[in-house]
Amino acid sequence: MTQPEAGEWNQTAALRDRLPAGWRRHARQAHLDLIEQWIGTPRGRWLKTDLYEELSPHRALLPCLGGSWIGMDVSTAVAAGVKPRVSRITVGDVRRLPFRDGAFDGVLSTSTLDHFDEPHGITLALAELRRILLPSGCLLLTLDNRSNPAIRLRNALPKAAQMATRLVPFPTGVTLSDQTGRIALAEAGFTVAQVGYLLHAPHIVGTRLAHLRWYERAMLPRLDQLMHTRLGRYSAHYVAFLCYADGAGVAR
């Protein structure tokens, strides 16, 4: 990552969150439920590939997770901002990880890899994630869901239009679907054990309505039931993958 790119993320760290706390709480719970279902309590040494959620008390995942974690982010401003909530922090780029081979039992990567301009960025990052995992290690990866038409449309807009409309407060990039994600993970040497679909409220409107308490409590969980239907792979904000560095975990 060049210095201006890292600088862009430093600026993002200072922005006010425009989405309601109700949406953030719901999204955090959906992530925690998935981690519980797929991993349970993380055992051994784990890496989280960015710390953006940990900037906010309504979003932070690491304080809710057991196990031994290192949090990393490319942005020095994000790293500085999460100090009260995260004890072990490293500044680094997920495409050039500052860790030795086989240093981790697990990696949690929540929508870090979907901000690169070139598809090669995802390829580089997946290769690095596999390198730093033990042979028995696992990766829980989420990406903006390319099969969601609203995400596809948003990402197709020129960057200037994305920022002007404030659809997203930060740069979007190339992302993958469940099918292309499976291929990219297999090419990086991972064995995919599970694919899931996370957060189904209609994009933009569905997130902003979460300032209403009844909507947060009653409607958001109901909308997430879409994950069990055929529509789920198109309505999800994120596609999620559980995969293993050597495939051994698939039979566990």
Ligand X SMILES: C[S@@+](CC[C@H](N)C(=O)[O-])C[C@H]1O[C@@H](n2cnc3c(N)ncnc32)[C@H](O)[C@@H]1O
Kindly list the residues in this chain that would bind ligand X in the complex (CB under 6 A): 1, 9, 49-53, 73-75, 78, 93-95, 110-112, 115, 170
- 48 Cβ partners below 8 Å, 6+ apart? 61, 62, 69, 70, 71, 72, 107, 108, 109, 110
Give least dist CB 95 to ligand X, A: 6
How many distinct helices (H) and strands (E) make up the chain? 11, 7
Report the residue number, 72 or 185, with the smaller CB distance to ligand X. 72
- Min dist CB 4 to ligand X, Å, is 13
Tell me the closest approach of the beta carbon of residue 38 to ligand X, in angstroms. 17
CB closer to ligand X, 51 vs 227: 51
Cβ-Cβ contacts under 8 Å for 192 (sequence gap 6 or more): 182, 185, 186, 241, 242, 243
Q: Quote the CA–CA distance of 209 and 206 in Å, as a whole number.
A: 6
Complex with ligand X: residue 122 or 185, whichever CB lies closer: 122
Cβ at position 96, least distance to ligand X in Å = 8
Which pair of tokens denotes residue 91?
Answer: 């500044």
As measured in angstroms, the least distance from the Cβ of 250 to ligand X is: 26
Q: For strands 191-198 and 238-244, give the pairing.
A: antiparallel
Residue 104, strand partner residues: 133
Rounded distance between C-alpha atoms, residue 198 and residue 123, angstroms:
23
Q: Are 174 and 117 in contact (CB under 8 A)?
A: yes
132 contacts: CB under 8 Å, gap ≥ 6: 47, 97, 99, 100, 101, 102, 103, 104, 107
**Which residue lies nearer to ligand X by CB, 94 or 188?**
94
Q: How far is the CB of 170 from ligand X (least distance, A)?
A: 4
Nearest-approach distance from CB 94 to ligand X, in angstroms: 4
Distance CA 72, CA 175 (A): 21
CB nearer to ligand X: give 26 or 95.
95
Measured from the CB atom, the residue of 157 and 250 that comes closer to ligand X is: 157
